Amino acid sequence: MQGFKAVASLLIRRSKTERARFIAHSHNKNLSSIPNSNSTDDDDLDKQVLVEGKAYSRTAILNRPSALNALNTNMVLTLLICSSDFSFSIFVSFLRTLSYCFESVKGSGRAFCAGGDIVTLYNLVKKGKLEDCKEFFRTLYTFIYILGTYLKPHVAILDGITMGGGAGVSIPGTFRIATDKTVFATPETLIGFHPDAGASFHLSHLPGHLGEYLALTGETLNGVEMIACGLATHYSYSERLQLIDQQLGQLVTDDPSVIEATLEKYGDLVHPDKMSALHRIETVDRCFGYDTVEEIFEALESEASGTNDAFCNSTLRRLKEASPLSLKVSLRSIREGRFQTLDQCLVREYRMSLQGISKQISNDFYEGVRARMVDRDLAPKWNPPSLEKVSEDMVEHYFSRLSEMEPDLDLPTEQREAFTQLQ
């Protein structure tokens, strides 16, 4: 229980001085939030997550629009504390008194959530603050597990950029509304990392080998494609979201079928356009169904050589931009995720994430973020620089604990049983 206790202890420290104010705000004000005085963010910590209380529901609003609502530890802790279904932790049992039927989450600005705040992680790694990075991953993955085993209906409104950790804090929930502004991706291999935050679970359960394609290339899906492949449950044009929000706010129910009927009433019937990768699913399955990354490259090159196929050529270009090590560990991660429960995926991803940032195996995460997000020269120097130089031992090491003394991620599985397929 060491990992879960660490998160709970952190919740105590961050919430003790906030409890009275949080309860007062939830009952007496329209918007409230929980600050974190220990964070080093330049943002107003008291407003990074806003909580909009309605008669029988509650909405969490991710509110870092200038950072595309990228998640930091403070934000995830706020989401945890705001979740009254987290009542099996005695440390936040005071929230049991806040009665509501269901919960929703949305983002401010042009993004739902662009994922974890990787620039902050980059700077922490640079300063040698690995424990702070561990705290972020522990907190985020714990919240994702709780969301995935939530007893009350949960509605995520994915209006805008939804990437990485943004998918992690939404897809495990009951309902996901995609819109004409939604842009989904798991672009971690392009920064020397791996699709995490539960991605090895939800990507591996997509049709055919679409999950491998998305994980390795980092290609985007729009809202129409998300609902077509099952990542979203509903689709609505962005201009109608205010009406949906109003209708949800009037509901007095915790019955998922009633909430679903409301979403369907204001939903739109759409189909992927002819250029969608979903129309190339046979090619995707044929090429990405192989056992190794090298064989996937060969299959794509073979497909492209005879016909100069634009889709295959574009896919090859994307793969060549990614970290060779990340490609290999990500492929294995998706393959393992196909036969694991959500909690098992998160425990494995936690090991992988710590290895990815620790520099024990490679400097690729640090180099990838530098090249794409810090210096923006788009010229990362991957190490190893090619697939053939990525050894089996390196890949195997990526899935192991940092050390024999390093505890694994501890999730509250005794209280909440993980599901075995994408909802």
Q: How far, in Å, CA of 302 to CA of 282, rounded?
A: 15
Q: Whole-model pTM?
A: 0.86
Known active-site residue 223: no
Q: What is the mean pLDDT of the chain?
A: 85
The secondary element (H helix, E strand) that includes residue 349 is helix 342-358
Q: How far, in Å, CA of 46 to CA of 34, rounded?
A: 6
Query: What percent of the chain shows pLDDT beyond 90?
Result: 69
Q: Which residues lie closer than 8 Å to 396 by C-beta, 6 or more apart?
A: none
Q: How far, in Å, CA of 202 to CA of 64, rounded?
A: 26
Q: What does the pLDDT read at residue 224?
A: 97
Kindly name the residue from 165, 173, 198, 223 that is annotated as catalytic: 165
Q: What does the pLDDT read at residue 23?
A: 36
Residue among 263, 323, 265, 266 nearest 293 (CA): 323
Kindly name the residue from 3, 53, 116, 164 that is annotated as catalytic: 116
Q: How far, in Å, CA of 105 to CA of 172, rounded?
A: 13
How many helices (H) and strands (E) would you count in the chain?
A: 18, 11
Q: Among 97-101, 351-355, 359-363, which stretch is predicted with the lowest mean pLDDT? A: 97-101
Residue pLDDT, tens place only, 299-340: 999 999 878 889 999 999 999 999 999 999 999 999 999 999
SS3 397: helix
With 90 as the cut, is the pLDDT of residue 38 above it?
A: no
Kindly name the residue from 18, 52, 117, 196 that is annotated as catalytic: 196
User: What backbone torsions phi and psi does residue 235 show, to the nearest 5 degrees?
Assistant: -135, 135
Known active-site residue 44: no
Residue among 23, 20, 56, 18 nearest 35 (CA): 18
Q: Which two tokens stand for residue 108?
A: 């401010």
Known active-site residue 188: yes
Kindly name the residue from 188, 212, 343, 367 that is annotated as catalytic: 188
Known active-site residue 291: no
Q: Which residues lie closer than 8 Å to 361 by C-beta, 6 or more apart?
A: 325, 355, 394, 397, 398
With 70 as the cut, is the pLDDT of residue 163 above it?
A: yes
Q: How far, in Å, CA of 364 to CA of 10, rounded?
A: 30
Q: Which two tokens stand for residue 310?
A: 């634009």
Q: Among 57-71, 72-86, 213-227, 338-352, which stretch is predicted with the lowest mean pLDDT? A: 72-86
Q: Which two tokens stand for residue 299?
A: 């299959």
